[in-house]
Amino acid sequence: MTAPQQTRQDVTVDFDIYDPALADPVDVFQERAAELAAKGPVVYSTAHGGHWIVTRYQEIQEILRDTETFSSYPNNLVTNDAFGKFIPVELDPPEHTGYRKALQPIFGPARMKKLSDSIRTVVNELLDEFARDGEAEYISAFAHELPARIFLALMDWPIEDAPLFSEATNVVLFGKPVGTEQESLEARAGAGVQMLGYFEKMVDERRANPGADITSQLIHTEVELVDGFRLLTDEELTRMFFLLLIAGLHTVQGSLAWAIVHLVNNPEQRQQIVDDPGMIPDAVEEILRVEAAVVPGRRATRDVELGGMSIAAGDQLILMLCSANRDDSEFDDPRHVDIARRPNRHLSFGGGAHRCLGSHLARIELTIALEEIHRRIPDYALVESDPPVFHATSVRGCARLPIRFTPEG
C-alpha cells in the first residue's frame, strides 16, 4: 500500500527565519531546522506572505541545478523591489553568465593563492592588537575586521574606510535593532543609498585614474552580455561591488566564530589541530558543513513537483543549506563534528550556476586565521558570564563572542 500523499496543510510549520528567538542559544536554529527536515524535504511556512522551506540535500541540489524552474530573484524573503537586483546573485542565466565571467578571474585560485601572504599579514596584525591582553571581543577585534580588510585589499580601496562598511552593511542586512519595522526599513534603505554612494565615488575615481587594481580592471574590461560586448555601466558596477561586500563579510565572520565555538566544545580535536596544523583545511570544511551561513532563496517560474509537494509558479522557496549539510542520506553521523571528515560534499557554498565565487578566498581566509590563532593563542575559552550572541536571518552568523586565553608573553 502506498502512503497517502501529504498536502501543504500537513507540512505547514511556524518558522520565520527573521525571528530573533532563533538566534539564541547557539543550537536553536539547527534544532528547529532538524525538526523541519524531520517533517519533510519540503515544508511550508506562513511567514512573509507564505513560502516553502526546502530541508534535504537531494531536493536542494535539484533546485540549485535547475535555474530555469527556480529563479534566483528574489533571493531574500524581505526584498526591496525599488532597490533592484544584486548582481550577479539575483540574475538568472543567460543574463547572469556574462557578469559571472567578468568576476571569475578576480576570484580564481591562482590569484587567491597570491593573496595568501597579505592575508597572513593582516591576520597577524589583528592578533598583535590583543594577543598580549589575554582577552578580546573576538568579533569586533578579529572576525569582522579580517574579511572587511581583505575585501578592501582585494579591491584596492583605502583601509581607513572599513568602519563605514561595517556600520552600513550591518544596517542593510539586519535593519535597526531598536525601532518600528517601518523605521528599520527606512534605515536599511538609507544605509543602502550611503553604500551605493561610496561605490560610485570609487568608480568615478578609478575611471579618472585607472591602475592595475581589480576595480580598474572591472571598469575597463569589455564583457559579453546579452545585449552585446560592452563595458559595464556605473550602475552595474556598483550593484556588483555591493554584492561582493555583503557576500564576503558576515559569511566569513560567522564561520570564524563557529570555528571557535565548535573547537572549544571539542577540545581533543582542537589539540589535534595545534599538534598538526596540516589538518586545518579539512577542519575548515567541517566547520563550513556543520554551520552553513547562507539561506538562499528561489522563486518557482512554473508549476513543479518537489519532494512530494506541488509548488505553483510564483511560489517563493528558501533553501536550508545547514540542514542539507546534516542530511544522513549524504553524511555519516551528521551531527558529529569530525575535523577529518572525508568526503565532505557540503552545500555551504551553494551549487550550480551561482556556486559561491568567493569560496577559494573564504577557505584561504579561514585556514590562515585558524593556523595563526592556534599558533599564537591556542587555549582560548568562552567567557561564561558573557556568552556569544548569534543572529538568524538569511545570513546567519555571530555578532559578539568574548574569549579569554593565556596572554602572549
* Residue numbers at the binding site for ligand HEM (CB under 6 A): 72, 75, 88-89, 100, 151, 243-244, 247-248, 251-252, 255, 293-294, 296, 348-350, 354, 356-358, 361-362
53 residue type, one letter:
I
**Least distance CB 18 / ligand HEM (angstroms):** 18
**Least distance CB 183 / ligand HEM (angstroms):** 28
**Least distance CB 207 / ligand HEM (angstroms):** 22
Q: Are 126 and 141 in contact (CB under 8 A)?
A: yes
Query: What does the DSSP 8-state code read for residue 6?
Result: P
**Residue found by looking up cell 583545511 in the block:** 281
Is 37 or 259 the residue whose CB approaches ligand HEM more closely? 259
Q: What is the 3-state secondary structure (H, E, C) of 98-149?
A: HHHHHHHHHHCHHHHHHHHHHHHHHHHHHHHHHCCCCEEEHHHHHHCHHHHH
**Least distance CB 28 / ligand HEM (angstroms):** 20
**Residue found by looking up cell 572587511 in the block:** 148
Query: What does the DSSP 8-state code read for residue 338?
Result: -
Cα separation of 229 and 207, whole Å?
19
Q: Are 147 and 122 in contact (CB under 8 A)?
A: no
Burial of 12 (0-12, 13-18, 19+ CB in 10 A): middle
Is 22 or 292 the residue whose CB approaches ligand HEM more closely? 292
**Following CA atoms 215, 220, 222, 228 in sequence, which dihedral angle do they give, to the nearest 10 degrees?**
100
**Least distance CB 351 / ligand HEM (angstroms):** 8
Classify the C-alpha dihedral 280-282-286-289 as positive or negative.
Answer: positive
Is 69 or 348 the residue whose CB approaches ligand HEM more closely? 348
Is 270 or 299 the residue whose CB approaches ligand HEM more closely? 299
Q: How many CA atoms lie within 13 A of 122 on its CB side?
A: 25
**Least distance CB 78 / ligand HEM (angstroms):** 15
**Least distance CB 92 / ligand HEM (angstroms):** 10
Q: Are 317 and 311 in contact (CB under 8 A)?
A: yes
Query: What does the DSSP 8-state code read for residue 301?
Result: S
Is 37 or 131 the residue whose CB approaches ligand HEM more closely? 37
Q: Which residue is nearest to ligand HEM (CB)?
A: 358
Is 218 or 243 the residue whose CB approaches ligand HEM more closely? 243
Is 11 or 219 the residue whose CB approaches ligand HEM more closely? 219
